Amino acid sequence: MKTKTTLETETFEEVVARRIERRSFLKGMLAAVPVMVVSAGSLGNASQVVGQARNKAVNSAVNASGTLTFKPIGLDRLDAVKVPQNYVSNTLLRWGDPILNGAPAFDISNQTKQTQSQQFGYNCDFVAYFPLEVTFPLKEGEEIAVSNRGILTVNHEYVNPELMFPGYTGGAPTLSQAEVTIAAHGMSVVEIQRTNGVWSYIQNSSYNRRITGETPMQFTGAAAGDDLLKTTDDPTGTQVLGMFNNCGGGFTPWGTVLTAEENFNQYFGNRNAIPDSDPRKAIHARYGLPTGASELKYETFFPRFNLATNPNEAFRFGWIVEIDPYNPNWTPKKRTALGRFKHEAATVTKSADNRAVVYTGDDERFDYMYKFVSRNPISPVREENFDILDSGTLYVAKFNDDGTGTWIPLVAGQGALSGWTQAQILINTRGAGDAVGATKMDRPEDIERNPVNGKVYAAFTNNTQRGTTGLPGTNAANPRPVNRHGHIIEILENNNDAGAGSFTWEIFMLCGNPRNLGDRTYFAGLNSVTARRFVSPLSCPDNISFDSSGNLWIATDGMPSNLPGNDGIFAVATEGAERGIVKQFLSSVIGCETAGLFITQDDRTLFVTIQHPGEGTTLANPSSRFPDYNQQMPPRPSVVVITKTNGSPIIGS
């Protein structure tokens, strides 16, 4: 018998109608608008109804000057970083650039573990800027002054060996190639300076550091020392070598960086060698570890990556790692209290009673969104915060269809977790989320708090399996079946307190092309006429960031498969008459994603990471030659710096 999917039981129009009802209930704004029965294919009308309450203001103000005054660019397929008129893009750091004292210059034909360990790594992702000449934590109301010297921390998420090594044979690396790629992971910590408005990096700075897949790290928090973290190499379960697949991240009020291990599963091989009777096998399956050989074949050279002989090593990855960028000798800490999953983002904010709150998501189809709230308040003494993320409560989000939501605590002995230890919850966090009935989301990516209105914005990049046969159907928080374009949810914690146990939420944006009815887009209540006229099409929101005026900046990952343009950066107002009007700010190069973005506190600099340029092709004939556009040079993942040509802030006139 054919299974009836949610696709068939609930139409998108019905979901939208429910949203209209909820908005009416919550805000009283649409009380006069009848909840219409929207006929199939008339989504444009539905969007129009949702937006009616604000039409007047929007229509009269779309041309007024707001803070986002740049002239939007359009979709573009050129192999070039394109920005609006009066802005300029410069490359600051490239894969292979020498970072440490004595590091050799980049030479693609002479790569070793040693050279790569001293050079800028591959596939840069999350980027954060830490000013020098500032004392953390900042006092209430204190802002970081315009800073011309700082430290950049840059994640190196993964590798594309087919674009790194001449003559690379897919799926069959040599030992030396495997060693180089392990060294190309992790993080670079690099001092940079601004001279006459131009940023450059300082080779040999004493702050500079390379953290790789082999850097010694420590486990802290309730899971540290648990049996599942013990291996032959580390019988204490407290020490581990390296971090992998560091994607998103965050920075703390006490001036450390948090970096998020995401798709760690891909580095391990041979799950099927574990007997079915061993409960570890099911956990590894829930986390998607390969049944046979891995793509990078590390397990053939290094036993720790072989699940057949080392079934616990994989439990030592998938964590949030804290690093002090101001101290190159600091041992990185894997903070187990924040749970283990394919971490995307680690955005830190403060609760009303000054505790540290960390928002983090699990970037998998049908997985969950989380937050951690520390037990202790943030101390005015910087070093006293170095253990603050080890004690507290991890929560998982439940989004109710009526626009309310609950943070369900993941605490041993409570409710559905009565038979669990806290270490089990932290190591098999997905299983704990399953047990308590958290809401299955469309791939949680970045989560950020708006510095102006305090609301929390979460990007869900896409989920083309939503509502397909045998898989979960739509819910109000994930309203589109076969969600190709992704969406953004706007969350208001109760009393605007990040420490709250419940929240209200609404869809901020259903991405896509507003000119294409089939995309079923929604842009913060704009009516369809306004959206078609003024909104830049975008797809697959990933990393997000705010400028100081509370405009949301969105980097995309996956545009070309859905829209005729390279990935890019888009900005959108979250308040006021221009709320919802998306404007394209940057178009990136061929085959890349615009992975990380960071706006400095003075709004004058936007750092952007260009990850995997040329992906999908090989070194013999790459689709991108960014950033050097030299036939002798490969495409190189890089950090670029966007400034206004006159040096003024990138927002405003």
Residues at the contact surface with ligand FEO, assessed by CB under 6 A: 157, 247, 262, 344, 363, 445, 542
From Ca ion, ligand FEO, none, interface partner of 603 (C-beta below 5 to 8 A by class): none
From Ca ion, ligand FEO, none, interface partner of 547 (C-beta below 5 to 8 A by class): none
Residue pair 62/523 in contact by the 8 Å Cβ criterion: no
In the complex with ligand FEO, the residue whose CB is nearer, 448 or 542, is 542
Residue 512, beta-bridge partner list? 538
In the complex with Ca ion, the residue whose CB is nearer, 97 or 557, is 557
In the complex with Ca ion, the residue whose CB is nearer, 247 or 597, is 247
Quote the least distance from Cβ 29 to ligand FEO, whole Å. Answer: 34
Quote the least distance from Cβ 544 to Ca ion, whole Å. Answer: 10
Distances, alpha carbon 383 to alpha carbons 86, 324, 386, in Å: 43, 10, 5
Q: Which of 638, 647, 643 is nearest to 127 (CA)?
A: 638
Residue nearest to Ca ion (CB): 557
- DSSP characters over 13-32: HHHHHHHHHHHHHHHSTTTT
Residue pair 134/144 in contact by the 8 Å Cβ criterion: yes
In the complex with ligand FEO, the residue whose CB is nearer, 242 or 403, is 242
Answer yes or no whether residue 247 interacts with Ca ion by CB under 5 A.
Answer: yes
Quote the least distance from Cβ 262 to Ca ion, whole Å. Answer: 7
Q: Which two tokens stand for residue 569?
A: 């950066």
In the complex with ligand FEO, the residue whose CB is nearer, 262 or 442, is 262
Quote the least distance from Cβ 420 to ligand FEO, whole Å. Answer: 27
Amino acid making up residue 433:
G
Cβ-proximal residues to 343 (8 Å cutoff; 6+ apart), any chain: 247, 248, 260, 261, 262, 318, 319, 320, 360, 361, 362, 363
Quote the least distance from Cβ 613 to ligand FEO, whole Å. Answer: 16
Q: Which of 169, 137, 273, 153 is nearest to 211 (CA)?
A: 153
In the complex with ligand FEO, the residue whose CB is nearer, 363 or 442, is 363
The answer, yes or no, to whether the previous bond of 137 is cis (omega within 30 of 0) is yes
Q: How far apart are CA 143 and CA 352, in angstroms?
A: 19
Quote the least distance from Cβ 264 to ligand FEO, whole Å. Answer: 11
Q: Interacting stretch for Ca ion, rule CB under 5 A, among 14-22, 241-249, 267-275, 295-303?
A: 241-249
Answer yes or no whether residue 557 interacts with Ca ion by CB under 5 A.
Answer: yes
From Ca ion, ligand FEO, none, interface partner of 262 (C-beta below 5 to 8 A by class): ligand FEO
Please report the beta strands in 7-86, taking only residues with DSSP state E, as ranges in sequence order: none
Q: How many residues bind Ca ion (CB under 5 A)?
A: 3
Answer yes or no whether residue 367 interacts with Ca ion by CB under 5 A.
Answer: no
Quote the least distance from Cβ 580 to ligand FEO, whole Å. Answer: 24
Quote the least distance from Cβ 486 to Ca ion, whole Å. Answer: 10
- Cβ burial of 323 (10 Å; 0-12, 13-18, 19+) is buried
Q: Interacting stretch for Ca ion, rule CB under 5 A, among 405-413, 475-483, 552-560, 567-575?
A: 552-560
Q: How far apart are CA 434 and CA 21, in angstroms?
A: 29
x/- site string to Ca ion, residues 518 to 547, per CB under 5 A? ------------------------x-----
The count of other CB atoms within 10 Å of the CB of residue 239 is 18
∠ Cα 501 504 510 (to 5°): 130
Residue pair 612/593 in contact by the 8 Å Cβ criterion: yes
Quote the least distance from Cβ 288 to ligand FEO, whole Å. Answer: 14
Quote the least distance from Cβ 482 to ligand FEO, whole Å. Answer: 19
In the complex with ligand FEO, the residue whose CB is nearer, 208 or 461, is 461
Residue pair 486/460 in contact by the 8 Å Cβ criterion: yes
Q: Among all chains, which residue has been given the structure tokens 């609950």? A: 406
- DSSP characters over 228-247: GG--SS-TTS-EEE----EE
From Ca ion, ligand FEO, none, interface partner of 448 (C-beta below 5 to 8 A by class): none
Q: Interacting stretch for Ca ion, rule CB under 5 A, among 246-254, 334-342, 482-490, 496-504?
A: 246-254
In the complex with ligand FEO, the residue whose CB is nearer, 163 or 247, is 247
From ligand FEO, Ca ion, none, interface partner of 157 (C-beta below 5 to 8 A by class): ligand FEO
Binding site for Ca ion (CB under 5 A): 247, 542, 557
